[in-house]
Amino acid sequence: MEDHMKLEFGMMCGEGGRCHNEDIGAIFTPAMLFVAIDGMGGHEGGEIAAAMVYEGFRALTHQDPGLALLCQTAEAINARMYAMNTESASQDENQGGRYRGMGAVVTAIWFDLDSEVYHLHHVGDTRAYEYIDGRLTLVSDDHSLSCVKALSERERQKHRLKNIVTSSYGAREGFEHMLATTYRIVEGMTILLCSDGLTDYVDPDVMEAIIANDMGAQKKAEALYQSAMDADTCDNVTIIVVHVMPEDRDCKTRSNSATLCPIE
């Protein structure tokens, strides 16, 4: 497939409605690994947790894509974060106890163009969507208390337990829940990765309309970010948009960020 397909991508990652950013959006090339990370645990703890996830996945930059390797990397990052949390629990703030309770929720997609598939790893309430044939479809599952009951998306957005996650990096020695699966790549599809600073505030129909628009991946990421700001998001916002394009289409790989969006 790599002789016939290529990827166009865009990214936005910023403070959104907060005064500091605990999110990280990352695009690692040449691996074509895309990661949306939402740190938890307060200003300092959340930033450190997100950075730990970022550095862990960064090691895959020059690796061949594979679901097993993706999950092994995730589990190793989680083990390090859990150990740091456990140590912090017995320390005061000056000794490192300020990191107590830090964690992260993560969605990562790793494209294997040779095999015509992408691998998805997901923990928490960051999200992955597919846009195919005019329809935006959620392919990840939120690991949160608001998903215990059968709720519509609009009901979930207003649920009082929507931000209480049931699985995250750093909370346990092993993940309570982890989605790890492989999907077929479809020519012309769009992948959207995002944090809940977007999905908790923007109607799914608005997101779908933006993705359906005939503009580049970066412009779509910017429009989605602006839609979150227009909806008065109270959270950080990370958005990664990936177009799977035919080889003869003109592609541009660009990113922009209000804070940190590394491309390697």
Lowest mean pLDDT of 89-103, 116-130, 183-197, 224-238, name the range: 89-103
| pLDDT, average across residues 206-216 | 97
Looking at residue 182, what is its pLDDT?
A: 97
Q: Is residue 259 part of a domain?
A: no
C-alpha distances in Å from residue 67, one per residue of 16, 115, 200: 32, 12, 29
CB 33, CB 61: distance < 8 Å: yes
Q: Is residue 264 part of a domain?
A: no
Residues constituting the chain: 264
CB 187, CB 244: distance < 8 Å: yes
- Residues spanned by the domain of 154: 5-246
DSSP secondary-structure letter at 254? -
Q: Is residue 229 part of a domain?
A: yes
At residue 3, does pLDDT exceed 60?
no
Q: Is residue 34 part of a domain?
A: yes
Percentage of residues of the chain with pLDDT beyond 70: 78
What's the structural domain count of the chain? 1
CATH of the domain at 92: 3.60.40.10
More confident residue, 1 or 251: 251
At residue 177, does pLDDT exceed 70?
yes
| pLDDT, average across residues 38-47 | 84
Looking at residue 5, what is its pLDDT?
A: 83
| pLDDT, average across residues 250-260 | 42
Looking at residue 142, what is its pLDDT?
A: 86
More confident residue, 150 or 108: 108
More confident residue, 91 or 246: 246
Q: Is residue 254 part of a domain?
A: no
Q: Is residue 257 part of a domain?
A: no
Looking at residue 223, what is its pLDDT?
A: 98
151-177 in b/e burial notation, b at 16+ Cβ within 10 A? eeeeebbebeebeebbbbbbbeeebee
Q: Is residue 41 part of a domain?
A: yes
Q: Which residues contact 251 (CB under 8 A, 6 or more apart)?
A: 6, 7, 8, 243, 245
More confident residue, 94 or 206: 206
Q: Is residue 256 part of a domain?
A: no
β-strand partners of 137: 130
- Supply the pTM of this predicted model: 0.87
| Model confidence pLDDT, tens digit, residues 76-119 | 999 999 998 888 766 655 555 566 678 999 999 999 999 999 99
Pull the structure tokens for residue 33. Answer: 């690994």
Q: How confident is the model at residue 154 (pLDDT cuts 50, 70, 90)?
A: low
